[in-house]
Amino acid sequence: MARYYAACTLGLEEVLATELRDVGAGDVAVRRGACEFEGDLALGYRACLWLRSAVRVQQELARGPARDREELYALVQTVDWSQSITHLQTLAVDGSVRDSWANDTRFPVLVTKDAICDQFRAANGQRPSVERDRPDLPVKLVLLNDHAIVYRELGGEPLHKRGYRQIQHKSPLNEATAAGLLLLSDWDRRGPLVDPCCGSATFLVEAAWIATDRAPGLGRSFAFERWRDVDLDAWRTIYDDAEARAAAGARHLPPLAGNDRHPGALAIARKALAAAELSDKVRLSHGDARDWAAPFRPDVVVANPPYGERLHDNPERLAENWRAIGDFLHGSGGKLAYVLCGDPDLARWLRLRSSRKHPVRNGPIECRWLRYELD
């Protein structure tokens, strides 16, 4: 049995907990911006491949008091690191430190790295090298109140990097946040869904993959695949099953469409849809949301209009954007709308009364996922 920690956007913890139970996790404990759970190695693989709302999955390797350098060093050395990598592979150590003897992460991270490398050197005179980009073994140290937890991170690249977004939109929505918000909504995964200001089409790709039962991690690699103790048979079975589910689910794609008034955003959206194998399946159009007639009557409208902090729009222009999105919502014929809002003053320009306000963090911005009943 292994102990795991999966991190998510603040506000999506319950969505993540549900996803974890769906992939077979036992004993799921909800934490702030995370869930802890237990299971075997295969569960870790399934979590990486299937969790839509998680950004990271870590396996705990050691925990204990670490009141000074010596205790931390000794704790890190209790782990048999040769189970993860050989001296020919690479590692990187990241850390977070709070209320402990060290003032910042640098020294404890160095101690951790030295303890790992010294163990290899003692065994055969050679040690793995440090590689910041795409290390074979990403190690995470958490030092809190002089107590340390040492993890290995299964994904390597964060899980929200699905591989379909090669170019960044100016203010994109994190893929895991977008998926988590869709899972939080009352969209039934079959009904038509539209986004009147879709930017790089994150909601649309995530909605398509949810509806068609396509695992978000298909087609990308994970750090655990390069570990010595990887159970390749178990991983192959899990991956093959996910491919079969995606093939079977492809026929369940609901009508999806998006619009944006920015041609550059739409160019990025088209590239993302192509990379996600959805080019001819999701309709995109160019123009102001106010003038957009969606190609079908939506059940659900989702939107992430600009709220200033990052796009640096002037307030009148922002209000005008929200008014335009409001015009679209009033005429859309949809049943439900969900709007991600980082500034309550702007939401009033929609001229609708929200029936739910779910707090969620979008990067540094405290937002609300607002729900509106349209009919």
Ligand X SMILES: C[S@@+](CC[C@H](N)C(=O)[O-])C[C@H]1O[C@@H](n2cnc3c(N)ncnc32)[C@H](O)[C@@H]1O
Binding region for ligand X (CB under 6 A): 169, 171-173, 197, 199-200, 202, 259-262, 265, 288-289, 304-306, 321, 324
Q: Residue 11's closest CA among 179, 207, 180?
A: 180
Least Å distance between CB 343 and ligand X? 12
Q: Quick one: CA dihedral 362, 368, 369, 370, positive or negative?
A: negative
Least Å distance between CB 217 and ligand X? 19
Q: Phi then psi for 63, rounded to 5 degrees?
A: -150, 150
Least Å distance between CB 35 and ligand X? 24
CB within 8 Å of 326: residues ≥ 6 apart: 349, 350, 351, 352
Least Å distance between CB 12 and ligand X? 16
Which residue's CB atom is positioned nearest to ligand X? 199
Alpha carbon distance, N-terminus to C-terminus of the chain: 50
* Complex with ligand X: residue 58 or 259, whichever CB lies closer: 259
* Complex with ligand X: residue 199 or 216, whichever CB lies closer: 199
Least Å distance between CB 261 and ligand X? 4
* Complex with ligand X: residue 265 or 339, whichever CB lies closer: 265
CA–CA gap between residue 374 and residue 184 (Å, rounded): 18
Hey, what are 142's tokens? Answer: 């958490």
Q: What is the DSSP string of 134-157?
A: S-SEEEEEEEETTEEEEEEESSSS
Beta strands across the sheet bearing 137-144: 26-31, 34-39, 2-8, 54-65, 147-153, 137-144, 90-98, 129-130
Least Å distance between CB 308 and ligand X? 10
* Complex with ligand X: residue 111 or 265, whichever CB lies closer: 265
Q: Residue 285's closest CA among 296, 300, 299?
A: 296
Least Å distance between CB 367 and ligand X? 11
Pairing of strands 354-362, 365-373: antiparallel
* Complex with ligand X: residue 125 or 263, whichever CB lies closer: 263
Q: How far is CA 66 from the centre of its chain?
A: 31
* Complex with ligand X: residue 45 or 164, whichever CB lies closer: 164
* Complex with ligand X: residue 97 or 265, whichever CB lies closer: 265
CA–CA gap between residue 372 and residue 375 (Å, rounded): 9
Least Å distance between CB 149 and ligand X? 33
CA–CA gap between residue 122 and residue 347 (Å, rounded): 62
Least Å distance between CB 268 and ligand X? 7
Q: How far is CA 215 from CA 105, 218, 285, in A?
A: 35, 6, 27
* Complex with ligand X: residue 265 or 346, whichever CB lies closer: 265
Q: Residue 352's closest CA among 367, 337, 368, 332?
A: 337
* Complex with ligand X: residue 47 or 303, whichever CB lies closer: 303
Q: Which residue has the tokens 């899980």?
A: 159
* Complex with ligand X: residue 76 or 278, whichever CB lies closer: 278
Hey, what are 323's tokens? Answer: 């008014």
Least Å distance between CB 331 and ligand X? 13
Hey, what are 103's tokens? Answer: 């003032």
